[in-house]
Structure 1
């Protein structure tokens, strides 16, 4: 204790006394961060190192750093790294209690601790902290010290640094924080547990008002500004606004590492995601599942435009509780959402929507498929069979056109998982991911061109140096008219008069297909408009039944909720009649690295026969 007090006294006395020899500052270590942004440039997530680069104070409103200085170290701009009065007070208390219980640390001392030391409350650590603080003040400017400090402190909820905290609690960059928001974040630092903006909302707001009082005392704001700022408590996001996008980032992370390896510098990944659509899709999934589906059910949503850009990817209802990505990884039976592959194969063989077929008992080998609704309709058209999702007609069609040919069609359209060719494959017994299904349906949406779903547009440094840019898409036709136009006609009927009527909304050209598997274990709705496709899936992770949840129910409602948001945010058009590609986006540079390549797991061996609709 005496050593610490003596060192502080000598340092405070200035040049009249010989200053103690200061230690050489260890190197400041910080792992590189990879920042992912959506198509508008908004941050959707960060991977890699915990700490961001030092905060640039010049880019912040003056009240933001002032809030932290006011509550943490009001003499920050005057002292040389430590506060002798505070240290003396802490030592007296420690002597009385036999241990160090008070910090009295300046911002510079706190930074020294964050950069170089442990959090142990010992006098030896405190003495070293003090010496490092003085050396920091001699090495860096006050603004640099404050910038490093604001990039390292912890705000709770996994948010390290000011920028991460602003995004987590207020869904905005630190440069846009209000006085009240800045005061609330500054107040958290004393105890991220006791002053947590969500879990201890009243205590957090009370301390924020205290911060604003001190800001008035220090001249950082006026009394009028304080009164105005304290009049309304800031709105705090209870759930991290970017939480749904973490499924998408997890999907991209492996591809990012393949392209850039283990980065030695900070990088920015410009993605295809539409952040607002992503949040809307996640919110709709929670709402629809909560209102319509039994407990323990999950949902997944994928939206892909006609060029393959993933615009939304919801891998589950709560990333924090269950980060398993059901959109890109989970393989489930597609049920009748698979039938478009069956009927496209038939249409390419010369069948037509008006061709007469018969809904009657069918036996193929030892298998006799049943319809979702009991009974048989007798003679109907092929279009009616699709709209009503008649299983007997789909099974007979597959048997006639050949199941190996259907498997080839599915692969041509983008299904990469193994496709079985037993009789029940016509009803969707193959295991596929929602991502695969969406990129396949995107072929129907873009005029018949192969789609490879992707999420990375560019990789650059924060300063703007381009390291990777995806090549423009190559338009490869994989199906043609009249088969494609006829399929679109039949899938439109699913929504207008068939099993998918709950997906309908006016003003847009819509088509799609429902899917429900045996014992209601999986429910799907996959559909599209011009240049845009979305698939919604629901099911349980343990593959247990969900009750009587069908694809034409909750999944169709979820699909409708997502698509009604999408059509307002992204360019839409009628479903193309032929092979013409959608209008290209502005020309981009030649890629400097190989194109992203999707990796999809092999399916599980076990399958079952669904009763689909």
Structure 2
């Protein structure tokens, strides 16, 4: 790729290539011997970066993909990208501050961030802490275990089969093919809604649901959402044990933010020659609807609850509807937070290149804090909008005494879900009946 010779990637290789080109120009008569010698004696050097030089991760990503859009033209090109320079600078600043504050204490040396609009236009990309120290783009090239950040894909598969966020499952020990998954809390909480199971990241129920719908179907759902990395139908698939890139998993969540349509992530918007001749103009969107409207409403309902009362509480944006999911790999080697509003989808990963453990960093900790800081700065002044999709709230959650009423609400007003709210409408019943009902729904 052309970026192979970029001085920001390998200065010595770039200078060697320049010397070869100079010699060829002198030999062909395009450059005098004296001018060629002068240029050879004064090779180009790098000017110091401002900040971490994160924009160079974007430049490499653009360069590596450019040939597929334009062939291999010999003319100079002008490339218009989807990057928002202010957003890129904000991402760089937020990450620098977070690592300066917590990096050493938490044993976190690297971070990656991807921000895109719900249609897949990449607005910011951070591939690592410092481009000068490492040109490896962890947002695109690194494959790491997403942990529980993969669980929404499992639950989505079941929602498409008719599961409701208010459907009940039992958090109890389960063994599949000789493997017994453990919850992070090392405890079991009994009967709960699948909404609570996802928001509290209960491993046993995620595995139950994966087994119910079938692992191959979970993989099929992942493919529809843009996951292209290798996945195998192992029982632990539900817990995110197979490696993916940050760009892939962020793209998958963009489908939840845009109303259920498939996404093709992109950073190149237009390419033309220096003379103004158009070589490429982005048109169209993606593969169309990949999530049903019913499943979408339930998914956003559940992921909003994760931010409201679950493992993503630290990412709350107050009165701005937001949804997301935390992820932590075994041994605290990777921690993720992938979240979104109606306008922006952002994925954050933290960890170490050598795979060493962090100091008990979970997705709901440093990644969620970085996500919230970035979103708070970039969403300031942006109109507040509800997330797409509508969720049919069951009768018991709307205050119906008869049990026949229901209501439909947008994903900015999801109805009664806390104990206090449920108690406020609870109908009078006999002591025996109330006792069972209360135990069943955790009043």
Q: Are positions 1:430 and 2:242 aligned together? A: yes
The aligned runs of 1:65-144 (5 Å cut-off) are: 115-118=35-38
Q: Which residue of 321, 345, 354 maps to 1:509?
A: 321
Q: Which residue of 1 aligns with 2:412?
A: none
Match status 1:244 vs 2:164:
no
Question: 1:571/1:332 Cα in 2 relative to 1: closer, same or farther (>3 Å)?
Answer: farther
Correspondence for 1:266: 76
**Relative contact order (C-alpha < 8 Å, sep 6+): which is higher?**
2
- Answering whether residue 173 of structure 2 is matched by residue 253 of structure 1, we say no
| Residue of structure 1 in register with 2:213 after alignment | 401
Measure, in 2, the Cα distance between the counterparts of 1:353 and 1:246.
43
Deviation at 1:430, TM superposition (A): 1.2
- Select which of 283, 303, 318 maps to 2:93: 283
Q: Once the 2 structures are TM-superposed, how far is the Cα of residue 296 of structure 1 from its aligned partner?
A: 5.5
Deviation at 1:376, TM superposition (A): 1.1
Q: Superposition pairs for residues 33-432 of structure 1, below 5 Å? A: 115-118=35-38, 158-159=46-47, 239-240=49-50, 243-293=53-103, 294-295=106-107, 297-432=109-244
User: For residues 409 and 375 of structure 1, do their structure 2 counterparts lie closer, same or farther at Cα, with a shift above 3 Å needed?
Assistant: same
Is 1:548 matched up with 2:377? no
Structure 2 CA distance for aligned equivalents of residues 276 and 359 of structure 1 = 45
1:475 Cα deviation (Å)? 5.9
In 1, are the aligned partners of 2:51 and 2:92 still within 8 Å (CA)?
no
Q: Quote how far apart the aligned CAs of 1:309 are.
A: 0.6
Contact 1:446 1:532 in 2 (8 A): no
- C-alpha displacement at 1:270, in angstroms? 0.3
Relative to the length of structure 2, the TM-score reads 0.77
Q: Describe the shift of the 1:242–1:514 C-alpha distance in structure 2 as closer, same or farther (beyond 3 A).
A: closer
Distance across 1 between alignment mates of 2:71 and 2:383: 35
State how far apart, in whole Å, the 1-side matches of 2:171 and 2:124 are: 38
Match of 2:280 among 468, 479, 482: 468
Deviation at 1:292, TM superposition (A): 2.4
- Give how far 1:473 is off: 1.6
CA contact (8 A) 2:150 2:238 kept: yes
- How far apart are the structure 1 equivalents of 2:285 and 2:61? 20
Q: In the superposition, relative to structure 1, how do residues 562 and 296 fare at CA in structure 2: closer, same or farther (>3 Å)?
A: closer
1:558 aligns with 2:348: no
- CA offsets 1:505-547 (integer angstroms, 9 cap, x no match): 1231100000011010110000111142111001111111112
Mean alpha-carbon deviation: is it higher for 345-354 or for 111-120? 111-120
Counterpart position of 1:107:
none
**Residue aligning to 1:497:** 309
Report if aligned partners of 1:439, 1:453 keep a CA contact under 8 Å in 2: yes
CA change 1:387–1:306 in 2 (3 A) is: same
Contact 2:306 2:313 in 1 (8 A): yes
1:393-444 per-position Cα deviation (integer Å, ceiling 9, x unaligned) = 1111111111111000000111011112111111001110000001100000
Question: Can you list the C-alpha shifts for 1:42-76, whole angstroms capped at 9, x where unaligned?
Answer: xx99x9999xxxxxxxxxxxxxxxxxxxxxxxxxx
Q: Which secondary structure state, in structure 2, belongs to the residue aligned with residue 118 of structure 1?
A: helix
Alpha-carbon distance, 1:245 to partner: 1.3
Mapped to 2, the partners of 1:119 and 1:265 lie a distance apart of: 23
TM-score normalised by length of structure 1: 0.56
What's the RMSD between the two structures over aligned residues? 2.8
Give yes or no for contact 1:284–1:562 (8 Å, CA) kept in 2: yes
Aligned-pair CA distance for 1:553: 0.1
Aligned equivalents of 2:203, 2:367: Cα separation in 1 = 20
SS at structure 2 position matched to 1:526:
strand
What SS is found at the alignment partner of 2:191?
strand
Measured after TM superposition, the shift of residue 472 of structure 1 is: 2.6
- Indicate if the aligned counterparts of 1:303 and 1:535 stay in contact, CA closer than 8 A: yes
1:460 is paired with a residue whose SS is strand
Distance 1:569 1:271, change over 3 A: farther
- Structure 1, unmatched stretches of 5+, are 1-31, 34-43, 51-110, 122-151, 160-167, 169-238, 579-613
Quick one: distance in 1 between partners of 2:147 and 2:220? 18
Q: Deviations over 1:315-358 (max 9, x none)?
A: 10000001100000100001000000000011111111111111
Distance in 1 (CA, whole Å) between partners of 2:71 and 2:289 is: 34
Deviations 1:460-509 (A, max 9, x none): 23343322111232460000121110110010011010111111112311
Going from structure 1 to structure 2, the CA distance change for 1:570 and 1:434 (only over 3 Å counts) comes to farther
Map Cα deviations across residues 186-215 of structure 1 (whole Å, 9 max, x no partner): xxxxxxxxxxxxxxxxxxxxxxxxxxxxxx
The number of residue pairs the alignment matches comes to: 366
Residues 488 and 116 (structure 1), Cα distance of their counterparts in 2 relative to 1, 3 Å cut: same
